[in-house]
Amino acid sequence: MKRLSTACRFMTITTWSKEGIMERRVNVLWIVVSLVMLLFFAQTPVTLAQSANYELRWGTIVAGGAWQILGSAMLEDVKKENPKISGSTVPSTPTATLMGLSQGKYNIGFSLGDATADAWEGKGFFKAGPIKNIRSLAAFYPQATQIVVWEKSPVKKIEDLKGKRVSPGAKGLSNDLEAQRLLKLYGMSYDDMKVQFLSFEDAATQFIDGHLDALLFVTLPFPFAAVINVASQGQIRLISIPDDKVAELTKFRGVEPYTLPSGLYKGIDYPVKGIAVRSHLVVSENMPEEVAYAIVKTIATNFSRYPVTLKSMAYAKKEDMAKDIGIPLHPGAAKFYKESGWVK
């Protein structure tokens, strides 16, 4: 009786009838099966097909700009190959995109290596505070030094720009930031010259018309339309940055040494030394892993088409997508790059 009493305390069956035993066995079996299924699905990665629809708000650049053209092409490919992803591109700038990502205005957008590194650390144009809720998705082509003067200009080196009429493009861009860093290495600032903040296209027009002495283009894509335009109007010269100054500039995260290949522009049959920052995609840390994975997989699959869309992409390699830009990779992107053997 003692043994029977002990056994009863561990039994969930409260009746000794045949029907009761069968009913309890069925219930226990159902519970076991349910638990097994829960464990299975808990350990199975969620695919895009299983997830809800996702809308991309993609920060690019002004209409007709390189990122707007490239971003539109990439977005169309992503939507075509992943029906659950929708969205549109939105005109922006690297600074505005990074701020927009931190505020939830965007969930994906183009930026540059130096701007993203500064945002992460709360430096440069982001002294209001670091932005930590962003992740790297994919890196692409370099944007490099192209400081333009006319062939007969007395400006032969950077320090000769003192007192001259120059344009670094518009305020708040990577080119503006790196131009200021470059001048500082020579003990100069914008106060030492006559600076006009213009669009790159307007700067080229002012240069052609004789209203500017130099185009202070330090980190721009290549071949760049504004420089092509200028070179078509007369013989230009591109000024290199000396090695010691390149070494100083590349101490900043997101900046790398880069030599512009010869033959990009009419009459420029020599390499041009300088720096570069990478065009890349940044996303919100909250982007679902399966969405990030789907985006980079689609871009990698269609990578060979993008140099036709944007010539600058001819200077990028597919495996460059995994390049370290100084902030953490999104887990979805990291997963694809590991599968591709591009990262460990």
CA–CA distance, 273 with 21 (Å, rounded to integer): 85
Residue range 137-160: average pLDDT?
Answer: 98
Show Cβ contacts of residue 210 under 8 Å, excluding neighbours closer than 6 positions: none
CA–CA distance, 93 with 200 (Å, rounded to integer): 14
- Reading the block at residue 146, the tokens are 């192209």
pLDDT tens for each residue of 175-184? 999 999 999 9
What does the chain come to in residues? 344
Within the chain, all domains assigned CATH 3.40.190.10 are found at 54-141+279-340, 143-278
Contact 224, 199 (CB under 8 A): no
Q: How far is CA 84 from the centre of its chain?
A: 23
CA–CA distance, 11 with 276 (Å, rounded to integer): 73
Whether 92 shows a pLDDT value over 60: the answer reads yes
- 143-278 to CATH, choices 3.40.190.10, 3.40.50.300, 2.60.120.920, 3.30.470.20: 3.40.190.10
Whether 138 shows a pLDDT value over 50: the answer reads yes
Whether 156 shows a pLDDT value over 70: the answer reads yes
Residue labelled with tokens 């996702």: 54
pLDDT at 43: 41
- Pairing of the two strands 54-59 and 85-90: parallel
CA–CA distance, 57 with 98 (Å, rounded to integer): 13
- 54-141+279-340 to CATH, choices 3.40.190.10, 3.40.50.2000, 1.10.15.40, 3.40.1030.10: 3.40.190.10
Whether 276 shows a pLDDT value over 80: the answer reads yes
Give the three-class secondary structure for 295.
helix
Residue range 153-165: average pLDDT?
Answer: 98
Q: What is the pTM of this model?
A: 0.80
Whether 32 shows a pLDDT value over 80: the answer reads no
pLDDT at 49: 56
Q: Which of 130-134, 153-157, 228-232, 251-255 has the lowest mean pLDDT?
A: 251-255
Whether 334 shows a pLDDT value over 60: the answer reads yes
CA–CA distance, 1 with 5 (Å, rounded to integer): 6
Whether 3 shows a pLDDT value over 60: the answer reads no
Percent helix, strand, coil in the chain, to 5, is 45, 20, 35
Mean pLDDT of the chain: 88
pLDDT tens for each residue of 4-16? 444 333 333 333 3
The runs of H, that is alpha helices, within the chain are 2-9, 18-42, 66-81, 94-103, 113-121, 174-185, 200-208, 225-231, 243-249, 289-301, 306-309, 331-340
DSSP 49: T
